[in-house]
Structure 1
Amino acid sequence: MSTKPNFQTHRYLLQTIDPVHIGTGGMRLGRVDNSIVREPGTRLPKIPGTSLSGAIRHYAAYRYGKRDCAGQAGHCGRPTCPICYTFGSISGEGEQQKSFAGVVSIGDARILLFPVYSMAGPVWVTSPSALEDLSIKGQTVSKDKAKVASGLITHEYLNLGWLMVAKESGHLELDGLSDLPDPVRKRIVLVSDKVFSQVVNSNLEVRTSVSIDPETGAANKGALFTYEAIPRAAFLWMDVVVDDYRRAFPAYDELEGWKKILDDAKASDAGVFDILNRIGGFLRKYAAPVNNKSGDYEKDFGNARVKMLGYIQEEKTQYKAATLRDKRWKNAETDTPADVVTAGLEWAEHLGIGGMGTRGFGRIRMINCHKVG
């Protein structure tokens, strides 16, 4: 069994390569008809963890060859399934329905750097609180001024969209953002938390569309609507907490180990009982000690052993057929739940998340991932 610690936090840095629209649902009176999800306290847009989790599970399931486990229900629920193990499962119907919790918690993706047009060209705006949330501390700026990175040549004032701010003396020096593209790091602008919210909400992308009548193929009368989105080239971050309380992730090499134990298993082998009971759960209803062979225990044990071996062989075949071998992917034989999340997130760069996908919305790119804490 794995000896890795139970709790690990993995921090992902993301970049939008399309506008991203995660709607609040329904039409609203205001600047736009279809608004996006925001933080209640700061009014800054975000990508909810629920939206990320659903898309990541779906894409990871396809990459691991487990399409039946991609949706919200109808999962296989097997202890050998990396998707059900990572994200949880709901299988069966009615009184026979079974559910198991997953081992990952995917947090909201929050804005770190927001792209804005200026007279000096495109810049990426951030604030002290946005940086501090990412554990970059000690950055300060005057209330109504902006501090700019050394690579940004400006005059005494700098416009951020429609807002003109005075430039604070000195240059912005940031550590901890080395994974950002160099042109971005050289064009970062720091403003106060109050100004940051105003800049972000004033520079969201807004588009206008019209509903189409499926019968005529023409626009519906009076069906014009507007919607907003986080623009492309925004940088966000999110935390994924892996609580591997089972310590039994079915990586390929782990499946090989289970198979070796089960091949010559006997009902009196405590190690085998532990595998079938704690991992597989097939013998959970038998509370008698292993050496108590009353009733049909050996028959039940044998059936569970055969069933588990069948699951292991099927999963090994799925691993070999899975689309996991690309230039950024690691060796699937030693996967972890965090690797399953990464596998799904990598496909979000091509297939996107959120709404308006047919209108060119939704793609996000993973810049990097590292453990924190």
Structure 2
Amino acid sequence: MFKMAKPFFIRVMTPLHAGSGQDLGIVDLPIQRERHTGFPKIEGSGIKGSIREVFGNLKKDFKVGTQTINNKNLKQAIYLAFGPEEGDLHAGALGFTDARILLFPVKSMKGIFAYITCPKILERFKEEMIIAKNTNTIKNIFDKNLPSKLTISNLGELAISGNIVLEEYTFKVKEENTTKEFAIWLSNLLDIDEIKNKLVVLPDDDFKDFVNLSTEVITRTKIDPKTGTVQKGALFTEEYLPSETIMYSLVLTTPFFNEKKEVFNPIDKKEEELVMEFFENGIPEVIQIGGNATIGKGIVEIKKWRE
């Protein structure tokens, strides 16, 4: 059973394809989505695999409790935290939930783009922050009502005569203090200044339509070098989460399932606290998640939780 949970955030810097395999729909290679909502997600297993690979390539030394993790003991630390790569000798002490969407960027007639969300997303975000026992931090934001639908953090940034135009759709919105306060809090937490003025809370159904219809769909081909034409069967489409999408996940830690844990020296701190330190002190600010890394896709910025 996991003993600690902390949120972290994922800011998509280049379009991200966390694939769900081939599909019979319009898009050949769609992204992963929740079954019951259709909202985009990234499977926890994919996040864990990407982060494990990142830790395996670390070149820096960092502290965990009283110990220093370096190239001499990093392999053993990864083995304890993430578990063995093959076999089932023991479970890892580090886990991740699926990454859920929090903010989705949509083209705006004014202000270039808006960060959209909806009451359903915010309610679920609140619930998961409470699961992570960060109630004191979020209390000032969510003690009041959640931001209402059809509200905006700053009318002057995106609205024209009280209306905003997202893609080809017009919405009448109003400025609301709760929405503004949440936008400021999230902007400061993630160190993304644009959120303060570009946050829009849409109705749930409209948000669902945008995250289903406004993702990036790219057509790819493979050219036959002998003929200079597209190879047969090599024309396909891929779906991507656009740049500036904001997602969040929970990192979960538990005591070690292996007795050989000297690398962490669990004397002054609980084992689950040391595993959390290992993640927080070791994770780089920028990593790659998802497919097509060789063409620059899936570069993301990791935003750690700050009390």
Q: Which bracket does the TM-score occupy, shorter chain normalised?
A: 0.7 to 0.9
C-alpha separation between the residues in 1 aligned to 2:225 and 2:253? 45
Q: For 2:234, which of 187, 201, 223 is the aligned residue? A: 223
The residue number in structure 1 matching 2:157 is: 152
Structure 2, unaligned runs of 5 or more: 61-72, 127-140
Equivalence for 1:22: 18
* Unaligned segments of structure 1, at least 5 residues: 66-77, 92-96, 258-278, 280-334
**Residue 167 (structure 2) pairs with residue 161 (structure 1):** yes
- With over 3 angstroms needed to count, the CA separation of the structure-2 counterparts of 1:6 and 1:191, relative to structure 1, is closer
Partner of 2:101: 111
Pair 1:123–1:98, CA change in 2 (3 A)? closer
Kept in 2, the 8 Å contact 1:123–1:188? The answer is yes
1:346 aligned to 2:284? yes
Per-residue deviation at 1:132? 2.2
CA contact 1:82–1:337 (8 Å) conserved in 2:
no
User: Aligned AA for 1:42?
Assistant: T
Q: Deviations for 1:48-78, whole angstroms, at most 9, x for unmatched residues?
A: 111111111111122279xxxxxxxxxxxx9
What is the CA deviation profile of residues 20-51 of structure 1, one whole-angstrom value per residue up to 9, with x for unaligned ones? 1011112x232311111101111011111111
RMSD of aligned residue pairs (Cα, Å): 3.2
Identity over the aligned pairs, expressed in percent? 28
Q: Using the TM superposition, give the Cα deviation of residue 251 of structure 1 relative to its aligned residue in structure 2, in angstroms.
A: 6.8
Cα deviation, residue 201, structure 1: 1.6
The residue aligned with 2:305 is: 369
**Shift in CA distance, 168/342, structure 1 to aligned 2, threshold 3 Å:** same
2:118 maps to a residue whose letter is S
Pair 1:8–1:216, CA change in 2 (3 A) = farther
Task: Show the counterpart of 1:243.
Answer: 254
Native 8 Å contact 1:251 1:336 kept in 2: no
The aligned amino acid for 2:165 is: N
Normalised TM-score (structure 1) = 0.63
Residue number among 4, 10, 19 corresponding to 1:8 in the alignment: 4
Q: 1:231 to 1:252 in 2, by over 3 A?
A: same
Give the Cα separation in 2 of the matches to 1:133 and 1:249.
38
Identify the residue that residue 185 of structure 1 maps to in structure 2: 196
Could you report, residue by residue, the CA deviation over 1:188-219 in whole angstroms, capped at 9, with x for unpaired residues? 00112111111122210111101345887863
For residues 110-155 of structure 1, give each alpha carbon's deviation from its aligned partner in whole angstroms, at most 9, with x where no partner exists. 111111111112110011121222226422435xxx2111262412
Aligned partners of 2:241 and 2:282: how far apart in 1? Answer: 21
String of CA shifts for 1:333-360, please: whole Å, max 9, x gaps. xx9322443466427x24x111122222
Shift of 1:233: 0.8
- How far did 1:365 drift? 0.6
Q: How does 1:256-275 map to 2 (within 5 A)?
A: none
Q: Retained in 1: the 8 A contact 2:7–2:248?
A: yes
